[in-house]
Structure 1
């Protein structure tokens, strides 16, 4: 717990290893939807940043960077359909393992899966109403973070916004995740990397002050619940109330 006073950017998540167990990795991807529903507060992200930029008559594009198993895009599409709004989500990830997993899901209207990086899309001149990611920032070193933010500005140019959500490192957050997942280690989370990598993720994540110090001009940090940080860029970065 004392180590949480400083970001541990040397800690490595097990699922990031190219030699990790394929069955455990598959199980981890399968569990992301349940876990993110609890810890990522995706519905608040949708209400605050995405829904106000959607239309009932014109399809708007959202980019999800580092999509993993694509559970976040699927949730966004489900909420947009329920609201009668037109949405297309391009979900990208350069990791062939996550792309393969996501590609095996049943086809969903509005979901575009691509094995690509944000730089590739930005270089191709792609544009999106919202550029977002979930639990990606803590994986990145300083150079990679700068690259993602620069790519996001290009991808959202012309009136779009970028919102990158991540964990806020804290002792309370670490203890809460450790205790909250403990009862499920032998059942729901068994055979996955969710608990071990979740705790490592918290150790690798930023505090609000650390993240703010890492951001270039034009970006700001917004706190969310539970133990969430958002790095935000673009016009009207306050967003409507959630």
Structure 2
């Protein structure tokens, strides 16, 4: 396959599943397949183990907000891991897309897990607060102005720690994802939208150049970025 130029972020590229006219059956299978893809490449088990679990308690309930939760697989994984570890964590996933909300709420219920159709700004307006604010594969959907708006909302919403995880754009990420997904996901949008996501994503250098002081950008494998912030009084 031809390798597109990845020197500049393709912020204007559009993922198929974001179209209101995409095929509903393909979209449902895409939400289903995210569970597999995110388990393999998103790195949330490591993030949970290092940056969330140490602050959880067996007696005091902590709260976590998953912004742009989509089909809810990351929200469900976090709630399930905490429950398995005997720790108290209430997880709320929010997404403005009605289709994502319908899929997320159609899945088997997990204690302490809920979903809302909402934006982070809606929760700020309500005065909501959470111990953790996280997101997965949201940053690449945002312009620089939208990204800064999310970070302001995150600071307003969080008590302990913000963790926004995403892809990092690179030739290696693009070619690796293309090769790994070629035999699979033929009946969902995982492969074409995943390649578009990589083209839309930030590099670590680009992200560090636009985030406010106090925010950190860390890199991981495979081709991962985690944008983090801790309140000064946490």
Bucket of the pairwise TM-score, normalised by the shorter protein: over 0.9
TM-superposition CA deviations, 1:10-43 (whole Å, max 9, x none): 1110000111111111110011100001110110
Equivalent residue for 1:182? 182
Any idea what the Cα deviations from partners look like across 1:60-101, whole Å, max 9, x if unmatched? 000000001100011111111221111110000011110011
Gap runs ≥5 in structure 2: none
1:107 aligns with 2:109: yes
2:224 is the counterpart of 1:204: no
CA distance in structure 2 between the aligned counterparts of 1:178 and 1:52, rounded to whole angstroms: 36
Which residue is equivalent to 2:156?
154
Aligned residue for 2:214? Answer: 218
CA RMSD of aligned residues (A): 1.1
Q: For residue 168 of structure 2, what is the aligned residue in structure 1?
A: 168
Match of 1:239 in 2: none
User: Which of the residues 60, 63, 66 maps onto 1:64?
Assistant: 66
The alignment covers a number of residue pairs equal to 230
CA distance in 2, matches of 1:113, 1:183: 33
Cα distance in 1 for residues equivalent to 2:21 and 2:146: 23
Q: What aligned pairs does 1:1-242 form with structure 2 within 5 A after superposition?
A: 1-156=3-158, 159-184=159-184, 189-235=185-231
Q: Distance in 2 between matches of 1:235 and 1:148?
A: 15
TM score, norm. by length of structure 2: 0.96
* Structure 2 SS opposite 1:57: coil
The 1-side partners of 2:25 and 2:70 are apart by 15
Structure 1: runs of 5 or more not aligned: 237-242
Partner Cα separation in structure 2 for residue 110 and residue 49 of structure 1: 20
**Post-superposition CA distance 1:80-134 (Å, at most 9, x none):** 1221111110000011110011111122111011001100111111111110000
Q: Equivalent residue of 2:5, what SS?
A: helix
Distance in 2 separating the partners of 1:235 and 1:183: 44
The separation in 2 between residues aligned to 1:124 and 1:235, in whole angstroms, is 20
Q: d(CA) in 2 for partners of 1:217 and 1:120?
A: 25
Given that 1:160 and 1:234 are in contact with CA atoms closer than 8 Å, whether structure 2 keeps it comes out as yes
Q: CA deviation at 1:190?
A: 2.1
- Name which of structure 1's ranges 85-94 and 105-114 shifts more when overlaid on structure 2: 105-114
Separation of aligned partners in 2, 1:225 and 1:46: 15
